[in-house]
Amino acid sequence: MKPIIRLIALLLCVPVLGVTQGSRARAWARENVMRAQVAHTDSTDKAAPSIPDGTSIPLDIELPKGKKLPVYSGPGEEYARAGNGKASVSTNGWVQVFGREGDWLLIQYGIDEGRMRFGYISAKSLKLGGDAVDLPSLWENVQLALIQPALLTDDPLGSMADIAQLPVGFQVRRLGWVGPWIYVEARDADHLLRGFLRSELLATASSRDERLPFDLRAVSWGPLEPDDALNRYYFDETIGRLRDSGGTAPNVWLRMDSPESRADLETLTSFRVVAGRASCNASLVPLHGFDSRAGEWLTLHFMPGDGFSRGALEATMEKGENLENVVIACTGTLPNGRKETLTLPLAGVPEDSGYPPGGAGFTALRFTPFVRTPEQMTKYRDWSGKPATFGGVLENVAQSLPGAPEEVLGLPYDTSEARLYLLEGEIVKEHGTFGIYDVPFSLKNPPEGVWLAAYQRCSDCSEIDAFDMFGSGILLPDGILGLREGVEGIVPETLRRDFSILLLVNTKGRDETQIESLIKSLRISAAFSAEKWNARYEQHLETTAIGPRSRELADIRGLEPGNGVLSEIP
């Protein structure tokens, strides 16, 4: 068998979730062609790299010069040979030796600038200048499974070029580790391959009894009522999740719990409504985590809890329909590759917004005229190329004023026809696991000529988390990435936070006394979520998932004019 065909055959036969030569593995491999590696002998004169902490370290062993040796992914010719079946190493270049496995040496060598490779060479004909560590005595031999699709690489410390693409549920054997990378072996009865996978992509392999039904439960639901944050989350022209769908926003947030393994849970697909006048998304709400070392986003769908994992499904109930009549189904993939349908009747599932009524108080304390300085607006004009208007001020300070007419937003920022005020106050939260997330403000029955900014955006991105408050017991990380030493920890609960939001008032025909009386009579509402999918891994530059929505009216009984004129938002 030719080497490249042999390596593809390996992928056709490697088990998925422990199945030897499983049909699922073969079907997947037919649809996902392996990316071939560059195949040539090393030619770099660059010095050998330093190696992060791990299972093994480079040994003080020199190989005899003038040799050109074939390189395999594992200790034997039954393992796939890298580089389109042509990989070789010249001992005239740098070669690091990590240990011996039988008659084979685990090495790393340079191929060209920016490209290296871990692999094995035969030691039978070599005279070694030093003793080699027995690698099998170091191997951990733990069975793991992928919790999302992943690329296997033989160059974790350089290009990270992939030698195979592996699907969710694919089982591997953990041998060791190098920094954030896990050294693994994928095998079936006939073929073997070794390489590296990112640690956060792996979980303990499933050992579930296939004779038992898959344990997935709909445990509660919360309402998704429209507000500026929710509309922005779904339909913003830049970052809205449903901006291209032309549909309506979901109005139900359905929580699903399961004690099954994370790898098994990630195989659940094709969520659908099979009874009742409703619809739902085909997949659960995505959980995003940023891996700073890999420089990329990872996406899962279940967040681990205490003995279970939780996912959330967005659904849309038609007007007049009752959740009691709705049945949800999804498709799961068993370890043997067989598909099964899971059915979840929603009758009896309790409503739970996640927020205890009165659990937080919003208090407006003062309002102060807000005028940007000429110097500030000159900088804004130079940066944006736009005129210095009220709309420009709002853009400059990253606040949004929905509903304000363009003719008002287009007025010069220093006009006497209208005035901005900075409304300042505080949010106080009771102790509890609930939080306050993605807060937009609005006016109930607003008087004519008065508009309130909805939210404060992050100045560097599109998030509206400026007033977020964490509940108790929130652990970093949140289970999207694996717990790592020096990273995990409890996030302090937030019990108090200031807020500052702009108010635009048409001053025509209104004196100072009338304006003060008008502002003190406003009814200010705050909407928020008590839970936020990804609260612990903010996905800046793209809105995070918003949970069920709740509302509180702000207390304005102590609202008084502030001193002077402000030009900055605290």
Does 547 lie in the same domain as 478?
A: yes
Please report, rounded to a whole number, the percentage of residues in the chain having pLDDT higher than 90. Answer: 48
**Residue 369 is assigned to a structural domain of this protein:** yes
Q: Look at the chain and report how many structural domains it folds into.
A: 3
Does 308 lie in the same domain as 366?
A: no
- Does the pLDDT at position 2 exceed 90? no
Dihedral of alpha carbons 61, 87, 139, 197, sign: positive
pLDDT tens digit sequence for 500-530: 999 999 999 999 999 999 999 999 999 999 9
Task: Return the structure tokens found at 453.
Answer: 């900014």
What value does the mean pLDDT take over residues 34-55?
Answer: 59
| Three-state secondary-structure class, residue 309 | strand
What value does the mean pLDDT take over residues 283-298?
Answer: 68
- The amino acid at residue 28 is W
More confident residue, 11 or 484: 484
pLDDT tens digit sequence for 368-394: 999 999 999 999 989 889 888 999 999
> pLDDT-based confidence at 12, cuts 50/70/90?
very low
> pLDDT-based confidence at 237, cuts 50/70/90?
confident
pLDDT in the model for residue 20: 28
**Residue 399 is assigned to a structural domain of this protein:** yes
Does 51 lie in the same domain as 125?
A: yes
> pLDDT-based confidence at 170, cuts 50/70/90?
confident
Does 66 lie in the same domain as 186?
A: yes
Contacts of 275 (CB under 8 A, 6+ apart): 325, 326, 327
Question: Using only C-alpha atoms, what is the Rg of the chain?
Answer: 30
What angle separates helix 3-13 from helix 23-31, to the nearest 10 degrees? 130
What value does the mean pLDDT take over residues 51-61?
Answer: 85
**Residue 533 is assigned to a structural domain of this protein:** yes
> pLDDT-based confidence at 546, cuts 50/70/90?
confident
More confident residue, 477 or 112: 112
CA distance 274 to 254: 16
Does 457 lie in the same domain as 424?
A: yes
Can you list the pairs that 63-67 forms with residues at least 24 positions away whose Cβ atoms lie under 8 Å? 63/91, 63/95, 63/97, 63/126, 63/128, 63/129, 64/91, 64/126, 64/127, 65/91, 65/92, 66/91, 66/92, 67/91, 67/126
pLDDT in the model for residue 213: 84
- Does the pLDDT at position 313 exceed 50? yes
CA distance 127 to 341: 59
pLDDT in the model for residue 28: 31
Cut 0.75: pTM above it: no
487, 292 contact by CB (below 8 A) = no
Of 308, 317, 52, 298, which Cα lies nearest the Cα of 180?
52
**Residue 209 is assigned to a structural domain of this protein:** no
pLDDT in the model for residue 534: 63
> pLDDT-based confidence at 190, cuts 50/70/90?
low
- Does the pLDDT at position 541 exceed 60? no
More confident residue, 288 or 290: 288
Does 335 lie in the same domain as 431?
A: no
- The amino acid at residue 65 is K
What backbone phi and psi angles, to 5 degrees, belong to 406?
-60, -35
- Does the pLDDT at position 116 exceed 60? yes
pLDDT in the model for residue 14: 31
Does 241 lie in the same domain as 139?
A: no
> pLDDT-based confidence at 26, cuts 50/70/90?
very low
- Does the pLDDT at position 223 exceed 60? yes
Cα angle, residue 340 at apex, residues 254 and 314 outer, rounded to 5°: 15
Q: Which domain holds residue 383?
A: 360-561
Buried/exposed 490-526: b ≥16 CB within 10 Å, e otherwise: ebebbeebebbbbbbbbbeeeeeeebeeebeebebbb
Residue 213 is classified by DSSP as: P
**Residue 355 is assigned to a structural domain of this protein:** no
Task: Return the structure tokens found at 527.
Answer: 């909407």
What value does the mean pLDDT take over residues 99-112?
Answer: 91
pLDDT tens digit sequence for 390-433: 999 998 898 989 889 999 999 998 899 999 999 999 999 999 99
The gap between the terminal CA atoms of the chain, to the nearest Å, is: 70
pLDDT in the model for residue 207: 66
Buried/exposed 28-51: b ≥16 CB within 10 Å, e otherwise: bbeeeebeebebebbeeeeeeeee
**Domain's final residue, options 203, 228, 263:** 203
pLDDT tens digit sequence for 329-354: 999 877 666 788 999 999 999 999 99
**Domain's final residue, options 293, 314, 345:** 345
Output the DSSP codes for 75-94: SSTTBPBHHHHT-EEETTS-
CA distance 241 to 251: 15
- Does the pLDDT at position 162 exceed 50? yes
**Residue for token pair 């607003």:** 446
14, 186 contact by CB (below 8 A) = yes
CA distance 525 to 444: 7
Alpha helices per DSSP H over 20-79: 23-31
> Which helix H or strand E contains 300, and what residues bound it?
strand 296-300
pLDDT in the model for residue 453: 95
Does 247 lie in the same domain as 284?
A: yes
Alpha helices per DSSP H over 60-207: 82-85
Does 222 lie in the same domain as 151?
A: no
**Residue 569 is assigned to a structural domain of this protein:** no
Task: Return the structure tokens found at 239.
Answer: 């970052």
Does 287 lie in the same domain as 239?
A: yes
The Cα-based distances of 268 to 15, 28, 214, 277 in angstroms read: 19, 16, 11, 23
Cα angle, residue 521 at apex, residues 393 and 454 outer, rounded to 5°: 35
Does 319 lie in the same domain as 451?
A: no
CA distance 183 to 176: 5
Does 526 lie in the same domain as 395?
A: yes
- Does the pLDDT at position 119 exceed 50? yes
pLDDT tens digit sequence for 355-364: 999 999 999 9
| H, E, C per residue of 453-492 | CCCECCCCCCCCCCCCECCCCEEECCCCCCCCCCCCEEEC
- Does the pLDDT at position 569 exceed 60? yes
CA distance 201 to 481: 8
- The amino acid at residue 480 is I
Mean predicted lDDT score pLDDT of the chain: 82
**Domain's final residue, options 314, 345, 376:** 345
**Residue 245 is assigned to a structural domain of this protein:** yes
- Does the pLDDT at position 496 exceed 60? yes
**Residue 320 is assigned to a structural domain of this protein:** yes
More confident residue, 484 or 25: 484
